[in-house]
Structure 1
């Protein structure tokens, strides 16, 4: 019985979304602009990386061709390597939004057809009745920030006052989110999680997709730094995803990284949540090594987004892509005959773009596995085609959304 692995390279978009202008993102192109920057020397950083973007394994899987199909431009140093080793194409997001839950839910067969709620880019951003209730129920002396902000900048701006007063740092972005940052030691990690649960309840009437706990450590002398103990409190997907179908059928499901949080821990099977891209990828590879027939591993690698995209760090993003690429042979070595791997993304986050928010982009679809021929998947009109193809591969009928590309050889 076949098995499957999906790896979401969080925010690794490949440009070209037709509705990008509606999101203020016309011309954004995460991979393309990183490749161009590296070719021009803007991706160099001493002690980290130098030179053109070097992704030989993903290029052999068709990444450059997927970029070219999406935008009409072949990024520097991503020319196709012959012979290709995988099937390639790109996905078009149909969900309303460019956020993490929308992208992941659509991948699993449930596009977001409703409009998320958002907090305005004003000061204050949050309604007074929400913050008053949060302060009262959380027994807080008050809150700080109350605005749109970068997660690292807002800690630099308010960290000292937070430690002095005990007031948590509450901020948002163009995504449907309320984020709360607090010091793990002086405020307390569990207290932060408990506060986010209160905020999750308070955000429901506003149709806010996620409340995110953003713990940090440090001091005035050393500076402040976020830790890996982030936790997302999301709403449930509006209908059954492929995860629900697989779990109800008794199939083994392993979710790695923040997948459990994204799906509000519904039908997420064995959850593994290490810190960092490398640790998450190792966990996914290890899970494939013990996965029974018919099983599914679903992994998210968040560092591309959180560490480099939002921080507009081109060299860091390029180095992270190259680090992932070097480990593709390990993924291949963990596969058995009939296995299917799909590498994709949930949205873009162009590190060369203005601001610090996600960008509305197409996403790559790179599929491979033992016995599968190299082929052109082409343009997929919804991320849900990934879920439909997984269901086809694992022996289930597709959900209501998405079409399988029937690429797996028998």
Structure 2
């Protein structure tokens, strides 16, 4: 394994840059997370991302430059490669996007629960409640996580029934109050649920703890935990770990990969804390390390909530932290910026959108290049494997030397 440098993946959860060719299959025609945020906002100041090629990548993806307006001075001047990537996985969900960029496309169909009440099969709920000692559940439908907590939080506190809901993703989500229900108890219920959803081919069970005493005050805490099935084949993370390198996950990356290939998992939440933690890990990591961060707020707090201004402000803040990262890079280090799917906050509904995602690679020794449209997210993983001197992954084409 080549241990001369380290690699960083900044995974901007849900940051699509234009509708994919197969968007109609997902009823997502016309979605464009970046383009529509820029148009709705009127101005989007991302000078560092622009200098690294983001807007050019978006224009290549859609045929039209984002209406972002004039940009301020860029403080990152490192050479970059830029383009966009297409997804070949069957879904537009978190697990599929992350696994594919690590070299493991999802070439099978996940199971899904129906959106209308009751979403869950009665026999499934009966098994979970019996083993967990629950008096029943609330919810039992597809819903926005923040909305359903406001709707049912008080009843949950009074009855002790957890709030169970799903979405367009392959998920079974359980929300419960940290104090009144108990965090450890919530995790135990999720472990039980994870066991019983396996026959339904569900990708994840998600614990959604919250606090507060009444609607308008309920707020989800940072103690979310995902129970995920394992990727069906070894990923980039496994390859690095098996070769003696370090794989440091920040945020929910470890949960998404079911801890497979992770040497150290660092918890963090919120855009500021995720950035602070990432910078600290990059500073301290040894050559031969991969630091992999999921910036979940773009998806969870703004994309699904259809909050255009929140998303735009988050993007601008993200951009301001890039110079700090650039200053920490050694001569042989590289950084990737990408996403796992779209979640256009101007689009109908509250679900993910099937989109192209950006792929940007920068660092002191990077040879500048326009990468065009890549055929799979797995090109990123293959490039990282090439960078570390590992055996080629099964999927993807490296652009390290392009």
Smaller-chain TM-score bracket: over 0.9
Deviation readout 1:113-171 (Å, 9 max, x if unpaired): 01000001221010111000011011001000100111111111111110110000000
Aligned counterpart, 2:53: 62
* Aligned-partner Cα distance in 1 for 2:246–2:202: 31
Assess if the C-alpha contact under 8 Å between 1:62 and 1:84 holds in 2.
no
**Offset at 1:79?**
7.7
Structure 2: gaps spanning 5 or more residues: none
Superposition pairs for residues 321-336 of structure 1, below 5 Å? 321-336=315-330
Superposition pairs for residues 59-98 of structure 1, below 5 Å? 59-77=50-68, 85-98=79-92
In structure 2, which of residues 10, 23, 27 is the aligned counterpart of residue 7 of structure 1? 10
* Aligned-partner Cα distance in 2 for 1:78–1:405: 30
Assess if the C-alpha contact under 8 Å between 1:59 and 1:79 holds in 2.
no
In structure 2, which of residues 301, 305, 309 is the aligned counterpart of residue 311 of structure 1? 305
Aligned counterpart, 1:158: 152
- The answer to which of 366-375 and 175-184 deviates more is 366-375
Aligned counterpart, 1:43: none
**Is 1:389 the equivalent of 2:383?**
yes
**Offset at 1:343?**
0.3
In structure 1, which of residues 19, 25, 29 is the aligned counterpart of residue 32 of structure 2? 29
Superposition pairs for residues 193-272 of structure 1, below 5 Å? 193-220=187-214, 223-272=217-266
Aligned counterpart, 2:291: 297
* Aligned-partner Cα distance in 1 for 2:385–2:8: 12
In structure 2, which of residues 362, 374, 389 is the aligned counterpart of residue 380 of structure 1? 374
Aligned counterpart, 1:129: 123
**Offset at 1:277?**
1.6
**Offset at 1:73?**
1.0
* Aligned-partner Cα distance in 2 for 1:121–1:368: 41
TM-score (norm 1): 0.94
Matched length: 396
TM-score (norm 2): 0.96
Aligned counterpart, 1:47: none
* Aligned-partner Cα distance in 2 for 1:312–1:306: 10
Deviation readout 1:159-204 (Å, 9 max, x if unpaired): 1110110000000011100000001100001100110011100110
In structure 2, the CA distance between the partners of 1:325 and 1:114, relative to structure 1 (3 Å rule), is same
In structure 1, which of residues 104, 112, 130 is the aligned counterpart of residue 106 of structure 2? 112
Aligned counterpart, 1:46: none
**Is 1:355 the equivalent of 2:349?**
yes
SS of residue paired to 2:218: strand
Assess if the C-alpha contact under 8 Å between 1:64 and 1:78 holds in 2.
no
* Aligned-partner Cα distance in 1 for 2:40–2:163: 34
The alignment yields a C-alpha RMSD, in angstroms, of 1.5
Aligned counterpart, 2:97: 103
SS of residue paired to 1:105: helix
**Offset at 1:229?**
1.0
